[in-house]
Each structure stands twice: as C-alpha cells, then as structure tokens.
Amino acid sequence: VSGILDGAVKKVPGLAWRLQGTVRRGGNARTPNYWLENTGLAEGNFSATVGYTRPSFGGEVYYSQFNTRLGIFTGTHAESIADIEAAIARKVPLTRSYFSYDIRRPYQQVAHGLFKASAYKVFSNYSRLDVVFALQRNVREEYDFQSLTARTNPELYLRLISHTLDVIYRHRAAGNYSGTVGFNGITQGNVREFQMLIPNFRNYGGGGFYMGKYVLPKVTFEGGLRYDYRWLRAYLIDNNTAQVIRPTWSFSNLTATAGAQVNLAEDLSWSVNAGTAWRAPTVNELLSEGVHQSAVAYERGNPTLHSERALNLSTSLHLHRGRLHGEVGLYENNISGYIYLRPDLRYVRTVRGSYPSFTYTQVDTRFRGLDLSLTWEVADSLTWTTKVSVISAWNKTLHNYLQLIPANRWENTVRYGFGSVGFLKKLYVSVGNLLVGQQTRVPANSDYQAPPPGYHLLNAAAGFTVNAGKQPLHVTLTGSNLTNVAYRDYMDRFRYFMDEPGRNVTVRLNIPIQ
C-alpha cells in the first residue's frame, strides 16, 4: 500500500508540499519447483517535502526514512565445509519449504534516513547558483542463523553517517559558449559492533570541476577538467598487542573529458566522447575481513590496492525520423587497476558456519560493448521496442577473460493501445520477451559454480482506467516469467544455491483523489 498527498499553499504563491508513505509485506518466494524458505520481506518508508519556487530563487527541504527486513534463504547456511560444498553442488535445496510470512534468522535489517536541503539563485545576468546539502544515516544489521542459543543481538552492526555538499554555478553564456563550475564534498564515519566485517573509519573527500560547452549550428563541443582528493583512516585492534592502529590512505587524481555531437541531418546526429576517469578503493575493498551473511561469503580486503584509472572512448548514433526512434552506441574502456571480488575457490569455516571465500583483487582490464535501443511506431496504436546489450571484458594482466561480467541480453516489447472500449478508458496491452545468453567468456575453473545456461522469459502487461461514479480508478496488471521457467542468473550470488523466483503476477490499483 502506497499513498501520496501533495498540495500548494494558496496564500503563499510558490509554496508546495508533498507527503508519501509505503508499506510492503511479502512471504516466501517460490521458484517453478519449490518454495524458498525464509525469503519474506517487510518494508515501511515515508518521505516529506516542502518547496518554495520563484523565478529568481527557491529551495526545498526533503526528509525520507526507509526501513526493511529481508529474510536470507536458509539453504545458504552450512556448518561444515562438506555441507557448503554439497549445498552448492545440489540442484535442489535439501530443505523443502512452504508459504509463510515469518522472517526468522538469518535476516538483514536496514534503516536509512536522508535529510536534504537545496536552494537556487538566478542572477540578473541569467547565471545560476545551486547548493545541495545532504545528511544520511544508514544502519545495517545482519542476524545470523542460530540454532542452539537465545542470542538477540545481531552478528553484524554497521552505522554509517554521511554528509555531502554540492555547489554548482552555471555562468552567463558568452555568445555560443557556456560553462559550469562546481565543487563536491563528502565526509563519512562508520561505527561497527559485534563481529568484524569492516572496521570503524573516517573518510573525507572533495572535488572541483569545470565543464564548458560551445554550440555551433551543426556541431556542439563539450569538455571538462576535474580534480579529486580522498582521505581515509581506519581504526583497528592489533590482535597481538591489543593496541589501536590507524592505517591511513590518501588518493588524488586529475581527470578530463572531451566530446562532440554532430547533426548529420535534421533527424540524425552522431556523438563521440573521450575521457579519463578514476575511483579510489573503498574501505571494504581495503580492509574487509569476515562473514558477509547477506552476500553468502567470507570476504577479504587488500590494503595494497591503488586507485582505478580508466581511459574511456565511446561513440553513438541517434535517429529520430518519423515513427522511428533509435540509438546505437559503441564503447571501449581500458581500466588500470580494476578492482573486483575474486572467488578464492576455497572455503572458510568460522563459528558462524562455513562460507565460500572471496578476496578483493586488482587487474588491468579492457571493456568493449554495444548498446542498441530502437522504438518503431508501427501504427498509431502499435509500438515495438527492442534493446540489445553486448559486453566483453578482457583481463590484460592474466591474458584471459574477466569473470563476473553480465551476459549478452536482448529484450523486445510490443504494445497496443485500444483507446476506449466500453467503460474501459486508455486500455492497453503489451507483450515482451527477455533473452539472456549464457556467459561463456569466463576463465575455466574460476568460480565455485560454472555459469548457468541462458534463459528466455515471457512478460506481459495490461492497464486501463475505469470511472466509479466521478472517481477514476487506474488498474494495471503485470506478469513476468509467465511460462514459469526455472533458471539461474550469472550475476546473482545466490545462484550457487537456488533458482530464481518463477512466475510473478502483480495487480495495482491507483486511486487519485482530488
């Protein structure tokens, strides 16, 4: 159940407000062949906004609170290494289940609060200043499987407080030239309790940038420079001396981008872009050491990691001709020091059970890919949309394919709008399919389980509006995996243990109240 209530204050032109709230409850999910024990969810969230808008200035204050409890599939828990090996090798979970709303250990609980205040000022010379401040508080708790104890504390508790500040100034255009200068800042502090996964830490960062645009009748040029600095200090206990140690890292980098868009015809344009990018390693990549229950893993960090640095090249064609709209893009990204979580191909036994082991590692890589989207309005009421995504990643350090990369995808949707049919208004029906190939571009024996076969899903949707007296009711019906295909997705860690959920049908009723 979700509701939105908004309005304006008539006595104060430009002042408006909005309230939103959602409550969700779900029981155990079901694959085509069996129920998944302890996979329910319970969620409650709300948000409130007040905004004031005038031609030359304005602002907004926003607050949201998100709370959720998510069950973790019981079949992922194993006491011994032999048990976890058997669970991964098993095609069907050993423990069969049934439908239930109960959420028992193991589960994770997340509470996320966000406060955001923004303001803008438009000056007499048409330049504009935007300022956004945000404060986030994220508390994550993981409750592990406990069979012989009445323990109520979580095994993992993390509380992360983040402050961010964005200041952006769009200066007055000078003829065909315009530009934007800005600053982004962040500070974070993490507190953990109970079991170790990541340590307490403090994190500071800031970056300044300038982007410029020059517009000609048939060509638009864009370019920019950015400098970033990151500082991280962790707080650890030395197991031998019981003393607090404070390892510290700092990272900085200068990046640049340049691109152009050429109007080849009134309805056809071509764009090309080249740029550098970077990313500093995060605290979990540097210092993880422990069980990550919701990811079914024992994770290890690597304190010797350095920043990722990339050179990105991309080009694309954009077509808007009559009833045909499409875009095709090609890209190549070369990344020095690409960081990923590599399977160690061994298991770790802890007091909390046995888990597959993963370690953050760093290699040089090359990503190449193609993205295609095309929409054809076959007739006034009939539309066909197709999307294709192809990606290949090469590990230049090991001279082999890079693992844990999405497989190729092809998605099609046909939509027909009937208009009004009797008392049904705005009636439409759509049918679509999703084809995901098997990921064959992986090194041999590089994971705990070989990539699963590809799969094909059939989806459909329908919707209409009906009037109950003067009250309109909007009804939508959606269905995914309608043929109830049993499949596993390569990018889902839980594929080691279970199939993806099967057929899912959702009915939504939206009631606008004036």
pLDDT in tens, 47-76: 999 999 999 999 999 999 999 999 999 999
DSSP, residue by residue, 120-154 = EEE-TTS-EEEEEEEEEEEEEEEE---SS----S-
CA distances from 162 to 59, 189, 198 (A): 21, 7, 16
Q: Where are the alpha helices (DSSP H) in 302-375?
A: none
pLDDT in tens, 432-464: 999 999 999 999 999 999 999 999 999 999 999
Spatial neighbors of 320 by CB under 8 A, at least 6 apart, are 267, 268
CA–CA separation, 61 vs 141, rounded Å?
29
Quick check: 95 pLDDT over 80?
Answer: no
Spatial neighbors of 166 by CB under 8 A, at least 6 apart, are 130, 131, 132, 182, 183, 184, 185
Quick check: 408 pLDDT over 70?
Answer: yes
Give me the torsion for CA of 344, 347, 348, 353, rounded to 10°.
140
pLDDT in tens, 204-228: 999 999 999 999 999 999 999 999 9
Note the pTM of the prediction, 2 decimals: 0.92
- DSSP β-ladder status, 409-421 and 424-436: antiparallel
Average the pLDDT over 279-292 and give the result.
95
pLDDT in tens, 44-53: 999 999 999 9
Asked whether the beta carbons of 71 and 110 are under 8 A apart, the reply is no
Q: In the prediction, which pLDDT does 238 show?
A: 79
CA–CA separation, 52 vs 396, rounded Å?
53
Asked whether the beta carbons of 261 and 271 are under 8 A apart, the reply is yes
CA–CA separation, 346 vs 88, rounded Å?
13
Q: Where are the alpha helices (DSSP H) in 257-404?
A: 283-287
pLDDT in tens, 227-270: 999 999 999 987 778 788 999 999 999 999 999 999 999 999 99
Q: How far apart are the first and last CA of the chain?
A: 19
Spatial neighbors of 285 by CB under 8 A, at least 6 apart, are 301, 302, 305, 339, 360
CA geometry: angle 486, 70, 164, nearest 5 deg: 115
CA–CA separation, 367 vs 197, rounded Å?
30
Map residue 19 onto helix, strand or coil. Answer: strand
Map residue 405 onto helix, strand or coil. Answer: coil
Q: What secondary structure, in 3-state letters, does 468-514 show?
A: ECCEEEEEEEEEECCCCCCCCCCCCHHHHCCCCCCCEEEEEEECCCC
Q: In the prediction, which pLDDT does 152 show?
A: 81
Spatial neighbors of 360 by CB under 8 A, at least 6 apart, are 281, 284, 285, 286, 288, 299, 300, 301, 302, 305, 339, 340, 341, 342
- DSSP β-ladder status, 471-480 and 504-510: antiparallel
Q: In the prediction, which pLDDT does 513 show?
A: 80
Average the pLDDT over 427-433 and give the result.
97
CA distances from 133 to 47, 59, 123, 159, 514 (A): 17, 11, 21, 20, 33
Q: In the prediction, which pLDDT does 349 show?
A: 94
Q: In the prediction, which pLDDT does 239 show?
A: 75
User: Nearest 5°: phi and psi at 102?
Assistant: -65, 135
Instruction: Categorize the per-residue pLDDT at 149 as very low, low, confident or very high, splitting at 50, 70 and 90.
Output: low
Of the candidates 130, 222, 204, the residue with the CA atom closest to the CA atom of residue 161: 204
Spatial neighbors of 502 by CB under 8 A, at least 6 apart, are 30, 31, 32, 481, 484, 485, 486
Report the percentage of the chain scoring pLDDT > 90. Answer: 90
